[in-house]
Structure 1
Amino acid sequence: MAEAHQAVAFSFQITHEGVQFNYDWEVLHLVWLSGARSYRKRWARFLNNIRNGVYPSSKEYLFLILSIVLSCHFIFGIDPSFGCINALIKHLIEPYISPKFLWLPSTGCAILACLIYSLVLWFAKALLMQYILKALLMYKGWMYEARSSKGMSTTSKLWVMLVKALTQKEPLLYSYQASLPKLPVPSLNDTMKRYLRSVRPLCKTDEDYHRIEKLANDFQHGIGKRLQRYLTLKSWWSSNYVSDWWEEYVYLRGRQALMVNSNFYGIDTLFVNLTNKQSSRAANLVHACFLFRRQIDRQELKPILVQGLVPLCSWQYERMFNTVRIPGIETDKLVHYNDARHIVVLHKGKYYKLDVYYKGRLLQPKEIEKSLDKIIADEASALPGEKHLGALTATDRVTWANTRQDYFMKGINKISLDIIEKSAFVLVLDDKDFEFDTNDPSKLDRYGQLLLHGTGHDRWYDKSFNLVIGRNGRAGFNCEHSWADAPIIAHMWEFVLSYEYTNLGYDEEGRCKVGNGLEPPSPLRLKWDFPETLISTIETSLKSAEIILSDVDLKLVMFDDYGKGFMKKCKLSPDAYIQMCLQLAYFRDAGEFSLTYEASMTRLFREGRTETVRPVTIESAAWVNAMHDPSKTNEERIALLRHACNVHQRAYQDAMCGKGIDRHLFCLYVVSKYLELDSPFLKEVLSEPWKLSTSQTPHGQAGLIDLRKNPNHISAGGGFGPVADDGYGVSYIIAGEDFIFFHISSKKSSNRTDSLRFSNNLKKALGDVRNMFLNASK
């Protein structure tokens, strides 16, 4: 009851001696600080919205315009408004404003009219600049040209000059949002041509191809035209014709467990181990996370610019913190809270609320460290049901939605669940070591498994992300996928790791260096009420989660024979190079070509997320076949590889520029469902399994650490579970010039896949391609 007593800031009672007032100055002061902080944030947000609303213009232009107008009107006697200022005085200010302010003289009326006219000019100028910038950003010719000045066309050079001239002012995080163009709807004819070309190498016979070709032609000249019209109409009034449906139908309506099937993970820097103290590492990373959140709230975070010039959409950053996915019977719901002053710490099955703000300021690492030490030192046992509570978020969504409705909508359970769901994020202090040993690859595999799924109950999979710290101080995260894509959380992870390394650090004993030793409030352990029926449901959910995680076959590969440096010497795109090696490895593994998914971003457009690149092409298949044809020379194989890489690179560029295949067909399918129209073509396209699902994790996208000076500060990237029951999930990161990390996942229950076998085929493919170039050079 001590917590309840401390929460009373003001009370009164009536006695025979009169009314007696009781109040606690400290609590009232905390209430005042909280309110003041809230209003400061609102005011800062208001000012930032104005700055974003007029970007690439700025307030300096307003002062300049006002100065010119006032000088012309009062000093030179010139009317710069062509009668507008006098009309404002005559029809607005004198009849409506001046009578209410009797003290306003005629000079004041003129100044007010000049101010209103200057504001109108300023907003008109800002809108004009925004539309000009939007028109410039619609140009995508630069994507297909070499980055050097010699390789760029005159049009692109002129375009670069104009964009630079318009964007000289330092932008805020969301400054470009109003200027980003909308994602265009590709023409139906273009999408059909691209689709048919992409499936040609997957068809085993000509009859198979002709059947698909007929379905596509019937669709294109039949209901496809009608569906396209509806989709075009949607693109006119929506910010992005794909993103809302993609989030709803691909993520939120999925009824299977989030663990393994949707959530993904990220891993620590492997060659830099700053401390082995769990609470110290966690304190520094938590502090850095909140600094990153502060930059998002204040919009001080610089938007990512392609080639330092073209902005990427920053919309997804908004939901990084204070966000939770609420389970539903038919569909889930993403809920984002404006602010959260606390995190939830999960340690040995016990949940704690930890306030990271005290007396109006963010706690320093040393202060957070003290609170975490108290949590680790707590030897109390978890309650029956509490230890495995997280398994509810790891089971299917319908079970969790029903359980949440029955047991967590009232009483102490609702209070504690609200604390978890409204927290900034969940910090997991794991009771296992996260290990890396170059002589024992299985330790790195286990590291990835613990981050991907843990034990099935020691993560809160609904939160936007879980920051996970191993017992030995190594770290990682588990991320819910619906709110954003991997590059967004990767940006935060890059900031956190670099800030820890360059600004925070540890003393000789591995403890936090930053902080003044203030004694923070003690963490509050959450309380629960677990009836027997709820405990039974939790245990059933745990068994379901354990079945899922026990089927995961995850293999992490640190490939250090060569890296990006060698690929550049071959004058090939590193991504295209790796994708071709993946095709060669898969062909050797499965004995055939299969539909392959590579994620590409569409953040060059407003609210853009991802598009699919299809690496299996006629050209890639020709090269893979040539690698097994003894009659082909190395020169012929290299020529085929170069052609295949160029075709793949063009497809990747097309996807980034809104000329993809799969998101267009997906949206046409959604329209057909709304209209209750049956399409055999769309049904077949959307039911095709992605046997090989691949994604590249960006490395150093914000350039916060110079890898030439800190070559060991490379991240190992992250991974995800397999998409198809008999397929592979492959994530890779090109770390520096000499390392590539691969995260390969599959299911043990499939007799067609084996992650270790695929990793061996992949390493052999990478080696064969290198030898092919070396032998040709000799």
Structure 2
Amino acid sequence: MGRTRVEETGLAQTCERYIDAITPLVSSTKQLRTTKNLVDDFRKARGVEWHAELQAMDMRNSHTSYLSAWWYEEYLKNRAPLPINMNPYLVLRDDPSPHKKDPAVRAACLIHSALVFKQQLDRGKLLPEVFNFKPPEYSQQEWFEKLVAACPSSAVTVPYMAITKFQSFPLDMSQFPSLFNSTRVPKSHQDELRRQSGSHVVVLLNDNVYKVTVLDAEGQPLGVAQIAGRLQALLSAQEPRPQHPVPVLTSEHRDRWAEAREQMEGSIVNRESLITVDSALFAVCLGDEGGEITNPVPLAKQMLHNGGRNRWWDKSFSLIVTSDAKAAINFEHSWGDGVAVLRFAVDVFNHSLAKAAPLVPELATEAVQLLPWDLSPAVQRMVQQANARIAQDCAKMNLGIMLCPGMGKAGIAKIGGRPDPFMQLAIQLAYWRIHRVVDSVYESCSTSAFKHGRTECIRGATIESAAFVKAMDDAGLSVAHKAGLLLKASDKHAQLSKDAKQGHGVDRHLYALSKIGSLQGCTHDMFLDPTYRALKADMLSTSSLYSDAVMLGGFGPVSPGYGVAYAAADDVSLFHITSWGHHTGDFCTAVQQAVHDMAAVLTSGKAKR
């Protein structure tokens, strides 16, 4: 799906959007004038040349997005360790069935449902998600669903064109095959995405790695009871944690892990074990301690990094099931984005709920295989160093979670707000109150309505949002005036969001133009300007994903500022905040106060649109 390709925005429009995006970040009139002069020079000269080359390149590659290959490369060249820096997570809601309080049974149900999802995908029976730019009044009707089902996986067809007439767009599904049998393999300078066939999963338990077959000889999923029996056999045996746990190497700096893996592959024992891991359908992580959700922070840390333990971070995704049957998905980000993973998570969760009848795990008829390792003294030292390094990262990272009961989608709408802009402005107001500066805000949005679309950035720090946050605590301004500024900033954010989802942002087009320049061995002073660096600092890196199947989710900080994942259910909003250098407890409190104060302003201000 997503057959129409995202088109690069016109150069003049991108330059105008760039000026809008940087204006609230620049406090010096002189610096702003310098930046505008650089942009004007770029727009009239070098930018014209590079934009023409980008258009020509786009025409030569009409089978894909003009950004797709570069974006994969951007991820795979990133040398940062995967845990915290790259891999996000989603915690699934608890399953109400009493027999699924058994971790082996819960894991088996989810594994089986994941295999059914793969089966539908392989057979071309998986219906695409549909993104609606207008209220989805038609999308639940039978005739509309038949139109969606009639759309092939490529080419613009009559059914596809009919759907888009309703401002509804079937989303691109090209990322989904990489969910399974996929691994990010470390290489010096740039990693490699590798896909191999396999009928097994790898199960991590106490940092031991096991091969567990889950498909039969015909490629059909084994029964839930069979899978549960094999997992139960592992949990009952409980091999002790090895002295030198190999999985922790996957948490290392990518070049360091590439060096270790290259040394390991000198042994045929290691080569065969690594092939088994790489070809696995996905990873399953068992044995982590459970905990009460009354304090979600320990659970969040466990699913985000787990101290680096008991994970193979390179796998496309890891299904994590704790000792008290809480379940989560931690995923490697280079192959795909949150939209694909969320769709997978929702389908798997809902399918697994249907397995409500009690079951008894069958006795394992096939022995599970503990993967052996042959580690040289040099690699053993690398394991020890990896353990120490990830422990330091986990200790340095701060994580906080704030719930705002009563201020979910329904509560925000009731007082005249829009959920996403309202929550974005609450984040920016909290940041302003703590730091007294307007800094760059990155909000990711999906462009999967287009062929091979990935993401675009919504630049949330606007002239309008800056005016609002600076006015909010000004006692000399009326409540009605503040409410008006809030609504104006919300409207601007909503428009930027719509533009970005349609491929009309700032970041990706400028990124592509700078890539064209680098291929020619040159750059432009606009990209060396301190203002451009300020925009790309992303002191607030934000993202929102919500589903009834998910109770929690988040990611690590990607800058010296904050990483903020947020979501709004009908009756509550949630903010998941991470940082390297700031106290997240203070930021959580500031966000809570911002939500309260903004609600009071909208309630009392009686501002009219």
Same fold (TM over 0.5): yes
Matched, 1:367 2:226: yes
Cα offset for 1:561?
A: 2.9
Cα offset for 1:456?
A: 1.2
Listed one character per residue, the Cα deviations across residues 218-264 of structure 1 (whole Å, up to 9, x for unaligned) are 22222111111111112112211112101202x10011211111111
Listed one character per residue, the Cα deviations across residues 315-371 of structure 1 (whole Å, up to 9, x for unaligned) are 11121111100111110011123x321000111121110001235332111111111
Q: Secondary structure at the match of 2:198?
A: coil
Listed one character per residue, the Cα deviations across residues 270-325 of structure 1 (whole Å, up to 9, x for unaligned) are 69585432111111111111111111111211101123342111111121111100
Aligned counterpart in structure 2 of residue 194 of structure 1, from 17, 24, 47? 17
Q: Which amino acid aligns with 2:557?
A: P
Matched, 1:235 2:58: yes
Aligned residue number for residue 106 of structure 1: none
Residues 273 and 760 of structure 1, relative CA distance in 2, 3 Å threshold: farther
Residues 661 and 680 of structure 1, relative CA distance in 2, 3 Å threshold: same
C-alpha separation in 2, matches of 1:594 and 1:430: 42
Contact 1:368–1:520 under 8 Å retained in 2: no
Cα offset for 1:379?
A: 4.1
Aligned counterpart in structure 1 of residue 537 of structure 2, from 689, 693, 697? 689
C-alpha separation in 2, matches of 1:570 and 1:273: 38
C-alpha separation in 2, matches of 1:449 and 1:535: 27
Q: Which amino acid aligns with 1:468?
A: I
Stretches (4+) displaced over 6 A: none
Contact 2:320–2:329 under 8 Å retained in 1: yes
Aligned residue number for residue 698 of structure 1: 546
Matched, 1:730 2:588: no
1:306-317 matches, within 5 Å, as 306=131, 307=136, 308=139, 309-317=168-176
Residues 347 and 248 of structure 1, relative CA distance in 2, 3 Å threshold: same
Report the TM-score, using the length of structure 2 for normalisation: 0.90
Cα offset for 1:410?
A: 3.9
Aligned counterpart in structure 2 of residue 350 of structure 1, from 200, 203, 208? 208
C-alpha separation in 2, matches of 1:276 and 1:519: 20
Matched, 1:715 2:550: yes
Aligned residue number for residue 565 of structure 1: 410
Contact 2:480–2:606 under 8 Å retained in 1: no
Contact 1:270–1:436 under 8 Å retained in 2: no
Aligned counterpart in structure 1 of residue 461 of structure 2, from 616, 632, 641? 616
Contact 1:327–1:401 under 8 Å retained in 2: yes
C-alpha separation in 2, matches of 1:552 and 1:230: 42
Q: Secondary structure at the match of 2:550?
A: coil
C-alpha separation in 2, matches of 1:271 and 1:424: 23
Matched, 1:495 2:347: yes
Q: Secondary structure at the match of 1:241?
A: coil
1:16-31 matches, within 5 Å, as none
Residues 586 and 665 of structure 1, relative CA distance in 2, 3 Å threshold: same
Matched, 1:505 2:353: no
Listed one character per residue, the Cα deviations across residues 381-419 of structure 1 (whole Å, up to 9, x for unaligned) are 34432xx21111101111111111111254111101110
C-alpha separation in 1, matches of 2:56 and 2:392: 45
1:235-634 matches, within 5 Å, as 235-238=58-61, 239-249=64-74, 251-269=75-93, 274=98, 275-306=100-131, 307=136, 308=139, 309-337=168-196, 339-360=197-218, 361-385=220-244, 388-437=245-294, 441=295, 444-501=296-353, 503-505=354-356, 507=358, 512=359, 517=362, 519-634=364-479
Cα offset for 1:698?
A: 3.4
C-alpha separation in 1, matches of 2:412 and 2:571: 10
Cα offset for 1:205?
A: 2.1
Aligned residue number for residue 101 of structure 1: none
Residues 408 and 318 of structure 1, relative CA distance in 2, 3 Å threshold: same
Q: Secondary structure at the match of 2:211?
A: strand
Contact 2:553–2:565 under 8 Å retained in 1: yes
Cα offset for 1:686?
A: 5.4
Cα offset for 1:699?
A: 2.0
Q: Secondary structure at the match of 1:315?
A: coil
C-alpha separation in 1, matches of 2:107 and 2:95: 18
Instruction: Mark the runs of 5 or more structure 1 residues left unpaired by the alignment.
Output: 1-175, 701-713
Q: Secondary structure at the match of 2:328?
A: strand
Residues 207 and 278 of structure 1, relative CA distance in 2, 3 Å threshold: same
Listed one character per residue, the Cα deviations across residues 98-128 of structure 1 (whole Å, up to 9, x for unaligned) are xxxxxxxxxxxxxxxxxxxxxxxxxxxxxxx
Aligned counterpart in structure 1 of residue 578 of structure 2, from 738, 745, 748? 745
C-alpha separation in 2, matches of 1:184 and 1:244: 15
C-alpha separation in 2, matches of 1:245 and 1:271: 40
Q: Which amino acid aligns with 1:266?
A: L
Residues 380 and 769 of structure 1, relative CA distance in 2, 3 Å threshold: closer
Cα offset for 1:609?
A: 0.7
C-alpha separation in 2, matches of 1:434 and 1:265: 17
Moved more, 527-536 or 517-526: 517-526
Cα offset for 1:775?
A: 2.4
Report the TM-score, using the length of structure 1 for normalisation: 0.71
Aligned counterpart in structure 1 of residue 44 of structure 2, from 208, 221, 224? 221
Q: Secondary structure at the match of 1:717?
A: strand
Residues 295 and 221 of structure 1, relative CA distance in 2, 3 Å threshold: same
Contact 1:612–1:660 under 8 Å retained in 2: yes
Aligned residue number for residue 595 of structure 2: 766
The percent of aligned pairs where both chains have the same amino acid is: 28
Contact 1:717–1:732 under 8 Å retained in 2: no
C-alpha separation in 2, matches of 1:629 and 1:272: 49
Q: Which amino acid aligns with 1:521?
A: E
Cα offset for 1:774?
A: 2.5
Q: Which amino acid aligns with 2:524?
A: S
Aligned residue number for residue 165 of structure 2: none
C-alpha separation in 1, matches of 2:340 and 2:574: 19
C-alpha separation in 2, matches of 1:505 and 1:490: 23
Q: Secondary structure at the match of 1:504?
A: coil
Q: Which amino acid aligns with 2:553?
A: G
C-alpha separation in 2, matches of 1:268 and 1:565: 22
Cα offset for 1:435?
A: 2.9
Aligned residue number for residue 210 of structure 1: 33
Contact 1:434–1:475 under 8 Å retained in 2: no
Contact 1:699–1:734 under 8 Å retained in 2: no
Higher relative contact order (CA 8 A, sep 6+): 2
C-alpha separation in 2, matches of 1:214 and 1:273: 64
Contact 1:270–1:715 under 8 Å retained in 2: no
C-alpha separation in 2, matches of 1:560 and 1:653: 28
C-alpha separation in 2, matches of 1:486 and 1:222: 38
Contact 1:466–1:479 under 8 Å retained in 2: yes
